[in-house]
Structure 1
Amino acid sequence: IVRQVVVTGMGVVSPIGMGVKNFCKALFLGKNGIGKITHFDPSSYRSRIAGEVKNFDPYRYLPPKEVRRMDRFTQLGMVAAEEAVREAEITGEDNNLATIGVLVGSGVGGLGTIEREQTILLQKGPGRVSPFLVPMLITDITSALIAIKYGFSGPNFSVSTACATGNHSIGEAFKIIQRGDAEIMIAGGTEAAITPLGVAGFCSMRALSTRNEHPEKASRPFDKERDGFVIGEGAGVVVLEELDRARKRSAPIWGEITGFGMSEDAYHITQP
């Protein structure tokens, strides 16, 4: 018997909108979220544009103590997950939490935290480095913190496959439900690598677009005039659920995943 898997919740934090409703509205209106980098001074960089999540205040969504112990990529992921879980109407009363897992990945992880703590190490010594450095930078921390917040004790891990991370996370979560290892999976990706070191690294690779004067025209992946990609940040999370389980609890159903595959051209790191 092939177990059917449906989407019962969605959450997003993006450069063009916070939340699914605002995101979709901006998307349909053709809003562009790319502009000059404001997270740091990019004046000496070849590429000075990015898709930043503007006016994101983590203290509006998360307890102050938790905010201070999270890198930005985790903050974005936690907010997106909260919307998805809320929309899916998952509660402890009508769900066995042991059958709910989390798979939210990140391609880079806590790069901003690494940069900050490296500066502290060099200026003040190893004794001043944060004890939360390691949990703040590892890519699986978002999955862990989502599980802790809601008590989800099913399968929990992350994948880190560069730009394909979010897609692979959803695909693997789909397969976990199909084979019966979980009934519900919180899945997606989160990234916040618009940092001095992160952008410098991509610039050195000659991977980023340098259309700094026309940021709205810089991201053009299928155009023959493409000169690189535009780095961005944000998070997208979905709730995947076994169909009969979703119907039994009258969950909202937004769509069905019918298959997933992945392959590799085995050619080049940045020019597939």
Structure 2
Amino acid sequence: MTRSRDVAITGIGMLTPGGRTADATWQAVCQGRSLARTDPELAGLPVDISCRVDEFDPDAVYGRRLARRLDRFAHLVLTTARQAVTDAKLDPASWESGRVGVILGVGSNSLETYEREFTSLGRGRPTAVSPLALPRSLPNMVAGEVALFLGARGPNFTVSSACASGAAAIGVGREMLLSGACDVVLVGGTESGRSRMSATCFAQMQALSRRTDDPAAASRPFDTERDGLVLSEGAAVLVMERPEHAQQRGAQVRALLRGYGSSADAHHPVAPHPQGEGAEQAMRAALSDAGCGIGDVDHVNAHGTSTPVGDTAEALALLRLFRGAPPAVTATKSVLGHAMSASAAIEAALTVLALEHQAIPPTANLRQQAPGRELDIVTDRPRPAALGVALSNSFGFGGQNSVLVLATP
């Protein structure tokens, strides 16, 4: 039964290390094998592994002029936005453009561009700084560029809440629909966390896995031997509409966004609350907003970054919320790596696909969980399951937590 605050998801676009489409990414995560490997662009750094998007040539996709104007995180999201619109069977040439919004999650601006341009400036060569440096690197420009690319003239902005950004953008997009400000919103997130500066900063914080000799075993969420995350990149965009709008135009509803909850740990700049109190609060808020009880939840796509403190906090929050018996859990960063603000949108899209396929993809590299903190984590192969309601968890620096409740139509 559709509720008054439900919104329909009618289109999905994805570009990840798992593939250049949503279906390809789904197949990759169902294989349950990490895609991390040595990254030539990070050669010489303390950690030189990542998960990266291959066989994607922006010059060939967009033409050299547009590709040169944009940075990597914009390259990724334009493709996914176009995929999502096509999947939703929307035609930008005929839609009511002023009623189409674009709200994207972006955790940071482009450190790759700034690294290059600051080098020129630091060497006393200000005239060598590109006039495109500012517009190509501002976080809000990805939403603006998607609007320009597709002709969407409705509300247009980005949301920044670190690694929860993509989920926050989806939550905000829902409110734009419910308020009547839009009839259609394109929501999601994009980021490329593979710049040398990003890799250096995360390494200096001791946040990255040091398993550079065995990259495929590096990301191991909830495993007792986890030692840090693996950087990644990617983008995901979802098309959302009010159910009645989707019905009027005969659109297929892939899933419903039933609830959204957010919270702040107010504990530490980068470390989560050790007991996961903020994560639990966000999950409870999302379920309350959705009108769901804990017994209604069939699956959790965990934030699961593979960091020692982060996974412990999330496990404790899940165990408390579900009274010691959480539903089946997966952690897809074990396969795709951590694409920062894009991960929340990618995982929301994967949760939609899990509901559609009635199957939970496996978590890679899990061998042993900490005694007393065991979750029902799917491993080895996809697990068929009767799925009606699922949570998608996303948490970020600053103690920012966002949780989505997704359901079958």
**TM-score normalized with structure 2 length:** 0.63
- Give the AA of the match of 1:145: E
Task: Determine the C-alpha separation between the residues in 2 that align with 1:31 and 1:253.
Answer: 30
Task: Determine the C-alpha separation between the residues in 1 that align with 2:93 and 2:209.
Answer: 50
Task: Determine the C-alpha separation between the residues in 2 that align with 1:195 and 1:231.
Answer: 9
Determine which of 7, 10, 13 is the counterpart of 1:8. 10
Q: Which residue of 2 aligns with 1:62?
A: 62
Report the CA distance between 1:248 and its aligned residue: 1.0
> Percent identity over the alignment?
34
1:24 aligns with 2:26: yes
Report the CA distance between 1:224 and its aligned residue: 2.9
Q: Which residue of 1 aligns with 2:162?
A: 162
Is the contact between residue 7 and residue 241 of structure 1 (CA under 8 Å) also seen in structure 2? yes
Is the contact between residue 34 and residue 219 of structure 2 (CA under 8 Å) also seen in structure 1? no
- Give the AA of the match of 1:77: V
Task: Determine the C-alpha separation between the residues in 1 that align with 2:224 and 2:24.
Answer: 32
How many residues are aligned here? 270
Is the contact between residue 3 and residue 178 of structure 1 (CA under 8 Å) also seen in structure 2? yes
Task: Determine the C-alpha separation between the residues in 1 that align with 2:139 and 2:172.
Answer: 16
Q: Which residue of 2 aligns with 1:254?
A: 254
Q: Secondary structure at the match of 1:67?
A: helix
Q: Which residue of 2 aligns with 1:38?
A: 40
Report the CA distance between 1:149 and its aligned residue: 1.5
Is the contact between residue 6 and residue 259 of structure 2 (CA under 8 Å) also seen in structure 1? no
Report the CA distance between 1:4 and its aligned residue: 3.1
1:223 aligns with 2:223: yes
Q: Which residue of 1 aligns with 2:240?
A: 240
Task: Determine the C-alpha separation between the residues in 2 that align with 1:134 and 1:227.
Answer: 36
Task: Determine the C-alpha separation between the residues in 2 that align with 1:259 and 1:210.
Answer: 37
1:83 and 1:92, CA in 2 relative to 1: closer, same or farther beyond 3 A?
closer
Task: Determine the C-alpha separation between the residues in 1 that align with 2:6 and 2:258.
Answer: 7
Is the contact between residue 45 and residue 200 of structure 2 (CA under 8 Å) also seen in structure 1? no
Q: Which residue of 1 aligns with 2:109?
A: 109
Q: Secondary structure at the match of 1:139?
A: coil
Task: Determine the C-alpha separation between the residues in 2 that align with 1:256 and 1:90.
Answer: 18
1:3 and 1:44, CA in 2 relative to 1: closer, same or farther beyond 3 A?
closer
1:122 and 1:188, CA in 2 relative to 1: closer, same or farther beyond 3 A?
same
1:93 and 1:193, CA in 2 relative to 1: closer, same or farther beyond 3 A?
closer
Of the structure 1 ranges 2-11 and 161-170, higher mean CA displacement relative to structure 2 is found in 2-11
- Give the AA of the match of 1:68: R
Task: Determine the C-alpha separation between the residues in 1 that align with 2:252 and 2:40.
Answer: 38
Q: Secondary structure at the match of 2:163?
A: helix
Q: Secondary structure at the match of 1:98?
A: helix
Task: Determine the C-alpha separation between the residues in 1 that align with 2:88 and 2:33.
Answer: 27
Q: Which residue of 1 aligns with 2:393?
A: none
Is the contact between residue 33 and residue 216 of structure 2 (CA under 8 Å) also seen in structure 1? no
Q: Secondary structure at the match of 2:259?
A: coil
Q: Secondary structure at the match of 1:8?
A: strand
1:199 aligns with 2:199: yes
Q: Unaligned regions of 5+ residues in structure 2, if any?
A: 273-409
- Give the AA of the match of 2:162: A
Task: Determine the C-alpha separation between the residues in 2 that align with 1:266 and 1:83.
Answer: 38
Q: Which has the higher contact order (CA 8 A, sep 6+)?
A: 1
Q: Secondary structure at the match of 1:162?
A: coil
- Give the AA of the match of 2:269: I
Q: Secondary structure at the match of 1:65?
A: helix
1:89 and 1:220, CA in 2 relative to 1: closer, same or farther beyond 3 A?
same
Q: Secondary structure at the match of 1:187?
A: strand
Report the CA distance between 1:124 and its aligned residue: 6.2
**TM-score normalized with structure 1 length:** 0.94
Report the CA distance between 1:3 and its aligned residue: 4.7
Is the contact between residue 10 and residue 253 of structure 2 (CA under 8 Å) also seen in structure 1? yes
Of the structure 1 ranges 260-269 and 123-132, higher mean CA displacement relative to structure 2 is found in 123-132
Q: Which residue of 2 aligns with 1:84?
A: 84
Task: Determine the C-alpha separation between the residues in 1 that align with 2:71 and 2:34.
Answer: 26
Is the contact between residue 13 and residue 235 of structure 1 (CA under 8 Å) also seen in structure 2? yes
Of the structure 1 ranges 67-76 and 216-225, higher mean CA displacement relative to structure 2 is found in 216-225
- Could you list the per-position Cα deviations for residues 136-192 of structure 1 after superposition, in whole angstroms to 9, with x for gaps in the alignment? 111111100111122211111001111111111111111111121111110111111
Report the CA distance between 1:93 and its aligned residue: 5.4
1:20 and 1:139, CA in 2 relative to 1: closer, same or farther beyond 3 A?
same
